[in-house]
Amino acid sequence: MQSLRIGSADAAPGAKARGVIAAGRGFDGPVEVPVVVVRGAHEGPTLWIDGATHGDEPEGTVACWMLGQEVDAERLSGSLVLAPLLNVAAAKHSARGDPLDRVNHDLNRIYPGKPNGRGTERLAWAYHEQLSAHADIVLSLHSGGTVGYMSRVIYHNDVPASLDLAKAFGPGWDLIVEPAYSPDRRPATGTIEAVAGARGKPALVIELGGLCESAPPRLRENARHLADGCLNLMRHLKMLPGRVERNGRWKLGREWLVQNNAGGFWLPDPAFGFRKPVAAGTVLARIHDLYGDVVEEVKAPHDGETIGMRTNPYVGLPGEYCVYFAEILGEVTA
Ligand SMILES: [Zn+2]
């Protein structure tokens, strides 16, 4: 077996290495993506996991740190590549994207990036070059960030195997939805999961946490849930020994992004609950003007469940993402 080199991290079989993927030079130094490579002592697939694609989503970062500490290279079959903090420039500002890049704010809409593009496009390019050369399976860990909260949900990609991988994330992960759409119902493009799918590689986007669960104990708990799901998936892939746990029953859904038409002060309905089944047309939240009068009711677009919601009460602009809603298409067991 050979060592595995990702950027400057070179891990021999049965060993771990740290390093960076170089992505250019910024105002105050190099632009780099920190990586941890755990090269198993035995043959197997290369699983690639990243956190903080969006710099205000720390759950994935902490989960990657846990995995980097807990996965024993001597017992591992295959390789685990961790990018705990993918978008450092954004994270420095607790922001979704790099505030200095005024054109390409969302890293997860511009893959595979451009070698001669703007800063975030160059970051995407450098990262994707390494990922596409080595990753057999991609997991991207996300949350609701500084504006919202996402309950447990897994987005699979267009590769059929991704649905089976989503089912292997373990107990509690019982909602699996189709690849993300834009608000006008077009499949989202330029996402890491879409470009991986175009190369025939399964990829999952896994969401948990955000603003209303950002107090340190809850953040750590959510990171633990994410890390445990990754470990269960690694046992499923036979990368790690041990028993695979399964939820046994899953809801399959389709995501809808519900936007507000009016800005204002946002309050969920008193009966609102994440993952609570509701009928189409149920009021989920209301937008109030500055005197407290209701100017808009935000309603469920279909029969289904709210999987994510703005939890920051200030809605500055019309057309912001207010509710991530899963239309439930059916249930499967196994
Ligand atoms: Zn995200």
Task: Give the DSSP per-residue string, 162-182.
Answer: HHHHHHTT-TT--EEEPSPB-
Q: How far is the CA of 111 from the centre of ligand 1 (A)?
A: 14
Let me know whether 162 and 309 are in one domain: no
Let me know whether 52 and 118 are in one domain: yes
Burial category of 21 from C-beta neighbours within 10 Å (exposed 0-12, middle 13-18, buried 19 and up) = buried
Q: How far is the CA of 8 from the centre of ligand 1 (A)?
A: 26
Let me know whether 194 and 259 are in one domain: no
Name the residue among 324, 325, 326, 260 with its Cα closest to residue 297: 260
Q: How far is the CA of 195 from the centre of ligand 1 (A)?
A: 16
Number of other residues whose CB lies within 10 A of the CB of residue 210: 29
Give the pLDDT band (50/70/90) at residue 1.
confident
Let me know whether 115 and 79 are in one domain: yes
Could you tell me which residues come within 8 angstroms of residue 272 by beta carbon, excluding any fewer than 6 positions away? 284, 285, 306, 309
Q: How far is the CA of 316 from the centre of ligand 1 (A)?
A: 20
Q: Are strands 203-210 and 148-155 parallel, antiparallel or unpaired?
A: antiparallel
SS3 percent helix, strand, coil of the chain, rounded to 5, is 20, 35, 40
- Please tell me the total number of residues recorded for the chain in this structure: 334
Q: How far is the CA of 153 from the centre of ligand 1 (A)?
A: 12
Let me know whether 95 and 169 are in one domain: yes
Backbone angles phi, psi at 278, to 5 degrees: -140, 160
Q: How far is the CA of 56 from the centre of ligand 1 (A)?
A: 8
Contact present, 136 and 201 (Cβ < 8 Å): yes
pLDDT per position as a tens digit, 109-163: 999 999 999 999 999 999 999 999 999 999 999 999 999 999 999 999 999 999 9
The pLDDT, as a whole number, for residue 215 is: 93
The pLDDT, as a whole number, for residue 128 is: 98
Q: How far is the CA of 14 from the centre of ligand 1 (A)?
A: 32
Let me know whether 63 and 14 are in one domain: yes
- Which of 206, 232, 247 delimits the end of a domain? 247
- Our count of domains for the chain comes to 2
The pLDDT, as a whole number, for residue 184 is: 76
What's 291's domain CATH number? 2.40.50.100
Let me know whether 13 and 77 are in one domain: yes
Q: How far is the CA of 150 from the centre of ligand 1 (A)?
A: 10
d(CA 143, CA 84): 14
Let me know whether 151 and 263 are in one domain: no
Let me know whether 161 and 229 are in one domain: yes
User: In whole angstroms, what separates CA 228 from the centre of its chain?
Assistant: 15
CA atoms within 13 A on the CB side of 131: 30
Beta bridge partners of 230: none
Give the pLDDT band (50/70/90) at residue 186.
confident
Q: Running DSSP on this structure, what letter comes out for residue 94?
A: T
Q: How far is the CA of 188 from the centre of ligand 1 (A)?
A: 13
Q: How far is the CA of 226 from the centre of ligand 1 (A)?
A: 14
d(CA 111, CA 191): 6
The neighbourhood of ligand 1, an ion, using CB within 5 A, equals: 54, 57, 142
Q: How far is the CA of 144 from the centre of ligand 1 (A)?
A: 7
d(CA 306, CA 257): 10
Q: How far is the CA of 206 from the centre of ligand 1 (A)?
A: 9
Q: How far is the CA of 12 from the centre of ligand 1 (A)?
A: 32
Dihedral in degrees, nearest 10, Cα atoms 207, 211, 216, 217: -60
Give the pLDDT band (50/70/90) at residue 304.
very high
Q: How far is the CA of 3 from the centre of ligand 1 (A)?
A: 31
**Residues spanned by the domain of 211:** 4-247
Q: How far is the CA of 72 from the centre of ligand 1 (A)?
A: 28
47 membership: H or E segment, kind and range: strand 42-51
Give the pLDDT band (50/70/90) at residue 185.
confident
Let me know whether 148 and 289 are in one domain: no
Mean pLDDT for the stretch of residues 174-190: 85
Q: How far is the CA of 227 from the centre of ligand 1 (A)?
A: 16
Listed in sequence order, the DSSP H helices in the chain are 59-70, 88-91, 119-134, 161-167, 192-198, 216-236
> Identity (one letter) of the amino acid at 155?
Y
Let me know whether 119 and 85 are in one domain: yes
Q: How far is the CA of 52 from the centre of ligand 1 (A)?
A: 7
Q: How far is the CA of 27 from the centre of ligand 1 (A)?
A: 25
Let me know whether 237 and 316 are in one domain: no
